[in-house]
């Protein structure tokens, strides 16, 4: 009956194995390792070593009768900081299915002198990196699952990217009869044997961060904000995905969200390179301004392209797992566009040509374009999404003070003009009138600003409504301008939600 139940469990759980590439289970036990989890750098498996699947007695010439190597090539970050912030599990678990652990003593003539010797029940001692951690348990001629829990400080993890650490699980077989005195005066009897199918090692850790800048792609906003230091203090690895070039397509000409897709693809390439060095497949995203829209397309690519990246080694074979995004934190991102972009596109702002030249992707954040893109590439419900918006008018008097614009990308005069435009204008309607150029008649577009039904709070570049999309799990508005929406107040919101809040970065066992 026991074996039937176990085999049914294997069939039942096999439906939940995620798409990945790793060596299949080899061995006699009914417990396949991938019914527990799939191999990775946080679920490490030894299944095909020289001591796997061998039914063996104690060998008095060896220090350990069985030894299993579990290698980790993922750099998780600063372990001390991770532990302090509860971003790595306090414990790790070693598991192994073992065969034929006898739990009763016997009488047997071990030295063949015609007299029965009193032999101890089977005692198989387990070690981790040379330190004893317990004993195997089981039953005669049956497979039994054994687990051992240890403090994470005992786990050998790489101390830098590119390093590979090794952890050894070792077993001394039948130590209770190693020094037993026999009737003939001889010492020791090799009575009990055991077999180990595979050994697994499992721990949990939060995933690295990709910082996604806004238009222009410079890392300066994140660096100057102190956000990088916040993530460093958490102990997590990170990468700022910069792009210091114009998009190949001018958004004001092509009208196809080309810059968002282009930069989303560049994020994917950067994430692949990061994964090659750090050996991880999951990411958390922190985006500013248009970086939130770029993040949407990156998430779409990871969810629909089955991008496989290296995620550990198993018995000498490389494990491949799909790239994935766990969470997104956006700051002042124009998910439903900004009327500023419409005004620039339609030349309704003086010197509109300058931002069109400096930011060739400005027209991808017009109201119609960004809204349609956000609807077409909605954020998956199973992935966590926190949106943070800014309201620059802290005293709600309609006039921006020097304190309110401090840290913004533009001066007080332009901040006020942009604030007023977003506050007052909903969209532009286009009418046409007859016009002439020399002797040619043509229809000249006349853009008519349509007022908001009520004033819109904004950070001088993006409205609170636009930065608070319907598909985010939680929207938080703070008093900030477009430059400071990634500074102290936002970082406090982020930390509260990451460490025990809805982002769940610290929800580790």
- Residues 491 and 226 sit within 8 Å (Cβ to Cβ): yes
β-bridge mates for residue 44, sequence order: 201
pLDDT at 362: 83
The predicted structure's pLDDT at residue 3: 34
pLDDT in tens, 50-99: 999 999 999 999 999 999 999 999 999 999 999 999 999 999 999 999 99
Report pLDDT digits (tens) over 298-327. 999 999 988 999 999 899 889 999 999 999
Res 105 pLDDT > 60: yes
The CA-atom distances, in angstroms, between 18 and each of 34, 55, 325, 326, 403 are 9, 32, 15, 16, 52
Cβ partners under 8 Å of residue 365, min gap 6: 215, 290, 293, 334, 337, 338, 341
Q: What is the mean pLDDT of the chain?
A: 91
Which domains can be identified in the chain, with CATH numbers? 2-202 (no CATH), 209-391+462-498 (3.40.50.1820)
Cα–Cα distance between 334 and 366 in angstroms, integer? 9
pLDDT over 70 percentage in the chain: 92
Note the pLDDT of residue 436. Answer: 86
pLDDT (tens digit per residue) in 474-502: 999 999 999 999 999 999 999 999 999 99
Nearest C-alpha neighbor of 155 from the set 172, 168, 146? 168
Provide the 8-state DSSP code for 312.
E
**Cα dihedral: 366, 270, 239, 329 (round 10):** 40
Separation between Cα atoms, residue 22 and residue 200, nearest integer Å: 14
Inter-residue contact 400 to 412 (CB < 8 Å): yes
Q: Is beta strand 308-314 parallel, antiparallel or unpaired with respect to 117-119?
A: unpaired
Compute the distance between CA of residue 102 and CA of residue 139 in angstroms, rounded to an integer. Answer: 5
Which residue, among 90, 79, 94, has the nearest Cα to 152 in the 3D structure? 90
Over residues 355-377, the mean pLDDT reads: 84
């Amino acid at each position: 009956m026991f074996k039937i139940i176990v085999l049914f469990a294997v069939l039942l759980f096999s439906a939940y194995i995620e798409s990945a590439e790793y060596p299949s289970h080899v061995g006699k036990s009914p417990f396949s390792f991938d019914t527990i989890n799939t191999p990775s750098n946080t679920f490490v498996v030894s299944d095909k070593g020289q001591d796997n699947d061998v039914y063996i007695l104690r060998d008095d010439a060896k220090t350990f009768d069985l030894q299993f190597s579990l290698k980790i090539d993922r750099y998780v970050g600063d372990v001390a900081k991770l532990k302090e912030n509860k971003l790595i599990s306090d414990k790790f678990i070693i598991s192994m299915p073992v065969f034929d652990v006898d739990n009763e003593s016997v009488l047997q003539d071990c030295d063949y002198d015609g007299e029965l010797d009193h032999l101890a029940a089977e005692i198989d001692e387990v070690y981790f990196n040379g330190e004893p951690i317990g004993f195997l348990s089981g039953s005669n001629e049956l497979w039994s699952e054994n687990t051992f829990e240890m403090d994470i400080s005992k786990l050998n993890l790489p101390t830098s990217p590119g390093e590979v650490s090794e952890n050894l699980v070792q077993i001394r077989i039948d130590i209770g009869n190693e020094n037993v005195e026999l009737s003939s005066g001889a010492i020791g009897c090799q009575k009990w044997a055991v077999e180990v199918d595979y050994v697994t090692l499992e721990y949990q850790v939060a995933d690295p961060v990709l910082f996604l800048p806004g238009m222009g792609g410079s890392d300066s906003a994140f660096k100057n904000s102190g956000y990088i230091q916040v993530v460093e203090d958490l102990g997590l690895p990170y990468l700022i995905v910069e792009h210091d070039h114009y998009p190949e397509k001018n958004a004001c000409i092509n009208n196809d969200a080309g810059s968002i897709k282009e930069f989303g693809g560049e994020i994917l390439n950067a994430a692949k390179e990061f994964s090659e060095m750090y050996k991880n497949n999951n990411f958390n995203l922190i985006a500013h301004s248009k970086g939130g829209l770029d993040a949407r397309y990156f998430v779409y690519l990871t969810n629909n392209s089955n991008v496989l990246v290296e995620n550990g080694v198993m018995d000498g074979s490389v494990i491949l797992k799909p790239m994935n995004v766990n969470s997104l934190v956006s700051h002042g991102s124009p998910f439903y566009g900004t009327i500023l972009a419409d005004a620039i596109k339609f030349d309704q702002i003086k010197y509109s040509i300058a931002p069109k030249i400096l930011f060739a992707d400005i027209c991808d954040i017009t109201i119609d374009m960004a809204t349609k893109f956000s609807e077409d590439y909605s954020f998956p419900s199973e992935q966590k999404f926190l949106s943070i918006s800014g309201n620059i008018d802290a005293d709600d008097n309609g006039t921006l003070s020097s304190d309110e614009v401090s840290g913004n990308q533009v001066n007080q005069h332009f901040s006020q003009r942009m604030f007023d435009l977003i506050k007052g204008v909903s969209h532009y309607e286009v009418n046409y009138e007859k016009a002439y150029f020399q002797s040619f008649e043509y229809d000249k577009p006349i853009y008519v600003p349509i007022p908001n039904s009520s004033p819109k709070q904004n950070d001088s570049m993006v409205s609170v409504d636009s930065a608070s999309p319907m598909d985010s799990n939680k929207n938080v508005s703070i008093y900030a301008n477009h430059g400071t929406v990634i500074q102290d107040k936002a970082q406090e919101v982020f930390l509260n939600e990451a460490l025990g809040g809805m982002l769940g970065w610290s929800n580790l066992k």
